[in-house]
């Protein structure tokens, strides 16, 4: 077996350790990137943003019964309405996240009833405060 070198057990161990460190480094990078908040920005032009705000005002006006602030970064809107109204609300929330990915929308069902919970990062609290003004008082 001329020309063929045998690996020592230490070489195999070193190779496995390097591969493990590389995999761990990739995992840490994925976790860091996954934990990053999206930027507080909207991708709509001014006219489209105004149109979407008017749609929010119309839809929220038809279904919101109460607005609560469980915490500064989270708004809870009690919802009254039929399935079609809730479907319209969810479709609008989905469109909002497409242009403003820092928003988080969730439906909550508890003893008080159905609610839309809207959450934002700390940097977007003023935007959430303005958003709350779209709901009827």
Task: Answer yes or no: is 58 within a domain.
Answer: yes
Q: Which two tokens stand for residue 81?
A: 């309405």
Dihedrals phi, psi of 41, to nearest 5 degrees: -155, 155
Task: Answer yes or no: is 38 within a domain.
Answer: no
The per-residue pLDDT for 81 is: 84
Q: What is the count of structural domains for the chain?
A: 1
Q: Do 117 and 108 meet the contact criterion of CB atoms below 8 Å apart?
A: yes
Task: Answer yes or no: is 116 within a domain.
Answer: yes
62, 71, 106, 130 from 109: Cα distances, Å: 19, 18, 10, 25
CATH number of the domain that 79 lies in? 3.30.1360
| pLDDT per residue as tens, the chain (137 positions) | 555 666 555 555 555 555 555 454 444 444 444 456 788 999 999 999 999 999 999 999 999 999 999 999 999 999 998 899 999 999 999 999 999 999 999 999 999 999 999 999 999 999 999 999 999 87
The per-residue pLDDT for 129 is: 97
The per-residue pLDDT for 6 is: 63
Task: Answer yes or no: is 89 within a domain.
Answer: yes
The per-residue pLDDT for 133 is: 95
The domain in which residue 83 lies consists of 46-132
In degrees, to the nearest 5, what angle opens at C-alpha 104 toward C-alphas 102 and 79? 140
């Amino acid at each position: 077996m001329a020309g063929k070198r045998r690996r020592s057990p230490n070489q195999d161990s070193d190779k496995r350790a390097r591969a493990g460190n590389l995999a761990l480094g990739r995992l840490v990078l994925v976790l860091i990137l996954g934990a990053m908040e999206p930027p507080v920005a909207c991708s709509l032009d001014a006219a489209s943003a105004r149109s979407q705000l008017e749609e929010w005002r119309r839809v929220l006006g038809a279904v919101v019964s109460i607005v609560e602030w469980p915490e500064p970064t989270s708004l809870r809107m009690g919802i009254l309405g039929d399935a079609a109204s809730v479907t319209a609300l969810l479709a609008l929330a989905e469109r909002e996240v497409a242009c403003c990915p820092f928003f988080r929308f969730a439906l909550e069902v508890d003893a008080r009833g159905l609610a839309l919970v809207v959450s934002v990062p700390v940097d977007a609290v003023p935007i959430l405060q303005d958003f709350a003004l779209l709901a009827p008082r």
